[in-house]
Amino acid sequence: MSLNGWLQIVVFFAAVLLFTKPLGVYMARVFQKQRTRLDIIFGPCERLLYRLTGVNPDEEMSWGVYATAMLVFSAATLVLTYLVERLQHVLPLNPQHLPGVASDLALNTAISFTTNTNWQSYVPESTMSYLTQMLGLATHNFWSAAVGLALAIAFIRGIARREMKTLGNFWVDLTRGTLWVLLPLSALFAMVLVSQGVVQNLKPYDTVKLVEPQAVTGTDGKQTTVTTQTIAQGPVASQEAIKMLGTNGGGFFNANSAHPFENPTPLSNFLQMLAIFLIPAALTATLGQMVGSPKHGWAVFAAMALLCFVAVLTCYWAEAHGNPLLHGVDQHVSALHSGGNMEGKEVRFGIANSALFATVTTDASCGAVNSMHDSFTPLGGMVPMVNILLGEVVFGGVGAGMYGMLVFVIVAVFIAGLMVGRTPEYLGKKIEAYDVQLSMLYVLIFPLLILGFAAVTVLMPRLGLSGLANHGPHGLSEILYAYTSATGNNGSAFAGLNANTHWYNYTLGIAMFFGRFMMIIPMLAIAGNLAGKKIVPASSGTFPVTTPLFTILLTAVIVIVGALTFFPALSLSPILEHLLLGAGQTF
Amino acid sequence: MKKHLITATLYTLVTAVLLGIVYPLAITAISQLVFRDKANGQLVTRKDELIGSKLIGQPFTGPTYFHSRPSAAGTGYDASASSGSNLAPTNKAFVDRVAASVAAEKVNNVPVDLVTASGSGLDPDISPAAALAQVSRVAAERHLDEAKLKRFVEAHIIDRQFGLLGEPRVNVLALNLALDAGI
């Protein structure tokens, strides 16, 4: 660990803090249909869109109608992506003449992008045409993020409204989130990325002559000489921008944000990390603004920042320590190199930025990677896994993090109520049995899917275990990480696992689908129920949700729920691997 | 329900055109006008021949060149199949592969980045430590003055961006091309 590394981490946190309030207040204005400077451009677009699609913007929706509209829309977008993938060989913008995508992979990918997971069982540069990337995948980066944003706003309305039956209009929230927030930010960010060297073109792949031809041994054992290099190209920057801002994380290339064309410079890397946290962090300020208690927004922000900081600290420490099994290798940090565990990491990012990126991308439900998590040290790699297991509520995905966090807030005030022995309230709303039951349903679906699928998979040698790249406890980590990432809609991977098989494509698809929609429905039901409640005036017995005590209680609830649920599984995978690594054991 | 279906279908189609066609094509058009070289991958030519990209690493394994990092992309530095090794720190294959690289470099206490594969398999850079560790070999092979070559390498160190972000590094392709051009 170095002073410069710490400084970079502190500067990153400062940047997140700086943008939280302005963007959060702006988003509150956007979703409450108040005037903004961008109305002049997007107002006419909005009205045209409603006219073309038959949306009545004044219609208010109950939680059930809101949920139905969201599900039907998600289904329609899923079908479009599936069709584009299957038919890409007869559609334009396919300069590499790639064939249509196989049905199980196409289905997995369509679910993956619809659910904001962006799990990728395939190598994009040899599987997806430019049109599929643009029309089939990048569009979902907007849609799934806008859906998440709309859902978070609906939940916040549920808290803010009193004695009402409705949560707003899904189509209006979707439209305003896309036009006023995601699209302008993406266009701006895409141009900044191109200025750093992220490519943006539609030309066929370039073939260049190697300076030093290489003798290589093929898989068949034959010696050949490689004299050229084929360089994949494409419309990367436009997708990269929304991939980060929408916490989607699906790479244009297989190596994701480790690829020099996706993430060429330290500045592009810094901005990509900032883009992941930008909207989720700002939503805490939107929450404060819309419920009329900015201090509550900051109290939630503080809980998130605290959990994030501890995670970065752990990951940076573990990765900077390096691998004790390597001999004759200098892993000590100096002015001339960053040392540490450099397998799977890029020199331009070094240890600090790789650890920070891994933490940020899994705190949020992004799943983009600038280093390969599978090659992290056991404890370093456990950090991203734990981040997802905690429910991705540390800033979290666009929208998804906020509503996930608010479910934990309900659990926290419920526990606080139990401790003092009176009916818990949250911002004047009495939290009753129905709300807590649904919150627990939300909390329990998650481990049920992860541990259930992982347990079944490890029992199947042919379907499950044959895909492993690493053995021993690390093999269990690979499987556990896969179902964690899918259920949490993250999309990052311990990528050694070969998941492009029928078993993994279908089961991970199911995990992604239920991990998204089975959690949204109880969440919306809570919101609908909260919206109908009266406001009870605060009394001396009310547990305040604006204080450091609340922040600590909330943090404790998240950690304890996560620890109780997942500690046994983690102790058999990364923790055991860490102990065996210390003992010099290899597999 | 029927109304939802119609709205959802129309909404998907209209926004697909906006977000999946208009937006990326507009960004492409502006990029090609304003940042032409960068938008096309910063390709490098020598004697009218394309020989690489400034951003994409190439394999260098011979004694006369500064070596790049091991690569897990295809057969090595395959820029149409980017990938890390995804080998775990406790994987015997990984520990053995590093040991083989350490033996091949013939340097005491070799800087870790020179014997580990990058995340992309296309890392264009090595650390300054890894470049400096190769100076005496390259100097001997090319019959160059070692102190002079060391200064030459030091001149090719790219500092942290704004003196703060990222890590110092040396672009291997740029260094080797400059070496071929004469120091």
What tens digit of pLDDT does each residue of A434-474 get? 999 999 999 999 999 999 999 999 999 888 898 899 999 99
Residue B23, domain extent: 2-39
Q: Do B116 and B172 reside in the same domain of the chain? A: yes
Identify from B105, B118, B154 which residue to disrupt to test chain A contact, counting A C-beta atoms within 10 A and taking the largest count.
Answer: B118
Percentage of residues in chain A having pLDDT higher than 70: 100
Q: Do B119 and B144 reside in the same domain of the chain? A: yes
Q: State residue B151's pLDDT score.
A: 97
Range in A61-75, A215-229, A235-249, A258-272 with the lowest mean pLDDT? A215-229
pTM here? 0.96
Identify from B13, B14, B31 which residue to disrupt to test chain A contact, counting A C-beta atoms within 10 A and taking the largest count.
Answer: B31
- A545 beta partners: none
Residue B183 has pLDDT above 80, yes or no: no
Q: Do B85 and B123 reside in the same domain of the chain? A: yes
Percentage of residues in chain A having pLDDT higher than 90: 90
Q: State residue A222's pLDDT score.
A: 85
Q: What CA–CA distance (Å, rounded) separates A231 from A208?
A: 8
Average pLDDT of span A31-40: 95
Q: State residue A132's pLDDT score.
A: 95
ipTM of the shown complex? 0.97
Q: Do B58 and B97 reside in the same domain of the chain? A: yes
Contact across the interface for B16 and A139, Cβ inside 8 Å: yes
A42-52 pLDDT per residue, tens: 999 999 999 99
Q: Compute the nearest-CA separation of B80 from chain A (Å).
A: 5
Closest partner CB to A338 (pick from B90, B94, B167): B167
Closest partner CB to B39 (pick from A201, A267, A353): A201
- Write out the E strands in A161-242: 166-168, 206-217, 223-231
Tell me which chain A residues have a C-beta less than 8 angstroms from the C-beta of B121: 255
A254-272 pLDDT per residue, tens: 999 999 999 999 999 999 9
Six token digits for residue A414: 């419920």
Residue A218 has pLDDT above 80, yes or no: no
Contact across the interface for B111 and A230, Cβ inside 8 Å: no
Contact across the interface for A348 and B169, Cβ inside 8 Å: yes
Six token digits for residue A540: 């001396």
Domains held by chain B: number: 2
Q: Compute the nearest-CA separation of B61 from chain A (Å).
A: 8
Packing angle of the helix pair A350-363, A3-31 (nearest 10 deg): 30
Q: Compute the nearest-CA separation of A345 from chain B (Å).
A: 5
Contact across the interface for A231 and B53, Cβ inside 8 Å: yes
Q: What CA–CA distance (Å, rounded) separates A269 from A257?
A: 8
Q: Do B101 and B155 reside in the same domain of the chain? A: yes
Contact A206, A231 (CB under 8 A): yes
User: Which of A176, A139, A201, A128 is closest to A28 using CA atoms?
Assistant: A176
Contact across the interface for A254 and B43, Cβ inside 8 Å: no
SS3 A243: helix
- In angstroms, how far is the first alpha carbon of chain A from the final one? 28
- The 10 Å Cβ neighbour count of residue A502 is 12
- Write out the E strands in chain B: 43-46, 49-53, 110-111, 125-126, 157-158, 169-171
Tell me which chain B residues have a C-beta less than 8 angstroms from the C-beta of A233: 40-41
Contact across the interface for B31 and A226, Cβ inside 8 Å: no
User: Which of A266, A292, A225 is closest to A8 using CA atoms?
Assistant: A266
Range in A557-566, B19-28, B35-44 with the lowest mean pLDDT? A557-566
Q: Do B33 and B70 reside in the same domain of the chain? A: no
A115-128 pLDDT per residue, tens: 989 989 889 999 99
- The 10 Å Cβ neighbour count of residue A13 is 15
pLDDT mean across residues, chain A: 94
Contact across the interface for A337 and B24, Cβ inside 8 Å: no
Q: Do B30 and B90 reside in the same domain of the chain? A: no
Q: Which residues of A146-181 are buried (b: 16+ CB within 10 A; e: fewer)?
A: bbbbbbbbbbbbbbbbeebebbbbbbbbbbbbbbbb
Contact across the interface for A327 and B35, Cβ inside 8 Å: no
Contact across the interface for A125 and B112, Cβ inside 8 Å: no
- In angstroms, how far is the first alpha carbon of chain B from the final one? 74
Cα B1 to Cα A56, A66, A521, distances in angstroms:
15, 12, 17
Q: Compute the nearest-CA separation of A562 from chain B (Å).
A: 25
Contact A117, A489 (CB under 8 A): yes
Residue of B nearest to A498 (CA): B86
User: Which of A262, A18, A250, A255 is closest to A145 using CA atoms?
Assistant: A250
User: Which of A372, A370, A388 is closest to A117 using CA atoms?
Assistant: A388
What is the count of residue pairs from A and B with beta carbons less than 8 Å apart? 402
Contact across the interface for B84 and A375, Cβ inside 8 Å: yes
Band of residue A423 on the pLDDT scale cut at 50, 70, 90? confident
Range in A311-325, A491-505, B108-122, B127-141 with the lowest mean pLDDT? A491-505
What does chain B come to in residues? 183
Q: Do B61 and B148 reside in the same domain of the chain? A: yes
Residue of A nearest to B103 (CA): A328
Q: Do B18 and B83 reside in the same domain of the chain? A: no
Q: Do B176 and B157 reside in the same domain of the chain? A: yes
Average pLDDT of span B126-144: 97
Cα A529 to Cα A67, A388, B173, distances in angstroms:
14, 28, 62
Please name the residues in contact with A445: beta carbons below 8 A apart, sequence gap of 6 or more: A514, A515, A518, A519, A522
Percentage of residues in chain B having pLDDT higher than 90: 96
Q: Do B53 and B84 reside in the same domain of the chain? A: yes
Q: State residue A221's pLDDT score.
A: 80
Contact B41, B53 (CB under 8 A): yes
User: Which of B130, B50, B20 is closest to A129 using CA atoms?
Assistant: B20
